[in-house]
Homo-oligomer: A and B are copies of this chain.
Amino acid sequence: MSDAPEKTSFVEDLTDQSDDFSRWYNEVIRKAQLADNSPVKGCMVIRPYGYGIWENIQRLLDKRIKATGHQNAYFPLLIPESLLQLEADHVEGFAPECAWVTQGGKEPLEERYAIRPTSEAIIGHMYSKWIESYRDLPLLLNQWANVMRWEKRTRPFLRTSEFLWQEGHTAHASEQECREEVMRMLEVYREFVETELAIPVHAGKKSDAERFAGAEDTFTIEALMRDGKALQAGTSHHLGQHFAKVFDITYQDETGKRQHVWQTSWGVSTRLIGALVMTHGDDAGLRLPPNVAPIQAVIVPIYRKPEDKAAVLGFLEQIKAALGEKVRFHIDDRDQYSPGWKYNEYEMRGVPVRLEVGPKDVANSAVMSVRRDTRAKESIPLAQLPERLPALLAEIQKALFDQASAFRDEKTVMVQDLAGVLAHFEGGGSGFVAVPWDGSVAFEAEVKAKAGATLRCMPLDTSRFASLEKPGHRVALFARSY
């Protein structure tokens, strides 16, 4: 906690979510010290507390990426314009939002370089060098990197010109294997986001209008924020042979014949931190799921008299020894802030559990725990703390997921047709609207034009939408979104 504390009392000033959700969001990001504005247009600084969340996300997701057979690598930040232009849809989608490097040292460059908005082009070029035989397949790589998309309107974590992400890029011998990989990584994302971030999602397929520039199919996980807007939390793309054909990525199959590979790409980004804030936060600030919270429990000593101070601080040493590395805890023994001030600060920062330790607790050889999510109190004897605290954290993790799921389900309504979709949004409705959809582009366009909502996905699991099943139609979820 060497990061500088906020300079003045601040909790009272937090805007209520119901008054102005967008303002609430910006204030929480700043007051909880997740991020700050920078002098670079559209780019933020991720402060240690926000970056601590990202480190936990990286650690927990990287484990899953490796467990499914992928390895990490690192490709150049810059992409020659000529490479970016090879795939027509890709360049059309990304070139308009690229930052361009035109000068290297003192000399103007012969060819412009784009700062990578995504790395299909540079990786496609390398894959064409590396892949020769069916024995070289599948090639399963991932990279953790910064990318840049020059955005006009930005918001911390949700849409910034530069952001951090991971991008997986794989090449396969057959379309079937390729499609299996697309679904495997979509499922990795769904399970990761639901388990570790406690964010329930709909996993599904994008419509043609919404898919990735250069992909054949895009699959997505879609979450619902507290203001009723959807947020795309991760995508997995079936690239078909689009890049293989323009980058000439071929292999010799077992019969000696040259074939183009089939490719996927998939990614999640620091946007997930914005999703965490808007899924779990409340009017007192953040509520972080324990699995990714940089601090899972904050310990606040309480004393007035000098002899109490010695006893309390002595007891803290016992707590430290008892907890060891079982939880990520932080002891806040700063003298210049009152316990009450600290309570507010750690509520703002969303620390899942607060442990209060005063003279009475020392006398009882116990600590008073306070849950951030429900504010429920519970005295925990020191002897039980090493077992009870991890269990309590697991309960909070589950409670946050259950609460977000209930909210998401309540905000998912079913209608039978276009008129129903429009009526929902015109009547002030938000959330997801499920509707049978015949694939009509006009339907999508009308919802977008009249309600400002887009087709978020066609969910893979339609069991909850059984009443909407109609021949020649697929269930589609519409929502306004980030």
Contacts and interface: CB of A to CB of B under 8 A. Distances in A.
A146 interface: yes
B2 A140 contact: yes
Nearest to A3: B71
Interface string A40-67: 1101111110011011000000000000
A105 B70 contact: no
B75 A51 contact: no
A127 B392 CA distance: 37
Contacts of A69: 2
Interface of A is mostly: mixed
Contacts of A333: none
Interface in A234-257: none
A443 interface: no
Nearest to A69: B2
A424 B105 CA distance: 36
Given A2-B138, A2-B139, A96-B105, A72 B51 contact: yes
A471 interface: no
B129 A36 contact: yes
A152 to B, nearest CB: 8
A101 B42 CA distance: 14
Contact of A100 (B45, B77, B103): B103
A361 interface: no
A76 B43 contact: yes
A191 interface: no
A80 B40 contact: yes
Interface string A111-149: 011010000001001100111110110111100011010
B3 A43 contact: no
Contacts of A132: 4, 7
A139 B3 contact: yes
Interface residues of A, number: 70
B4 A40 contact: no
A83 interface: yes
Given A5-B135, A36-B129, A136-B5, A73 B102 contact: no
B71 A48 contact: yes
Contact of A73 (B43, B51, B96, B138): B51
A390 B2 CA distance: 37
A99 B145 CA distance: 18
A39 interface: yes
A348 interface: no
A313 interface: no
A164 interface: yes
Nearest to A132: B7
A258 to B, nearest CB: 15
A101 B100 contact: yes
A47 B73 contact: yes
A54 to B, nearest CB: 8
Contact of A40 (B78, B102, B145): B78
Interface string A323-343: 000000000000010000000
Contacts of A73: 3, 45-48, 51
The 5 closest A-B pairs by CB, nearest first: A4-B136, A48-B71, A43-B76, A46-B74, A100-B103
20 contacts: A2-B71, A2-B138, A3-B71, A3-B141, A5-B136, A38-B76, A38-B125, A45-B74, A47-B73, A52-B71, A54-B74, A74-B164, A77-B146, A96-B105, A99-B113, A102-B102, A102-B103, A104-B161, A115-B115, A135-B336
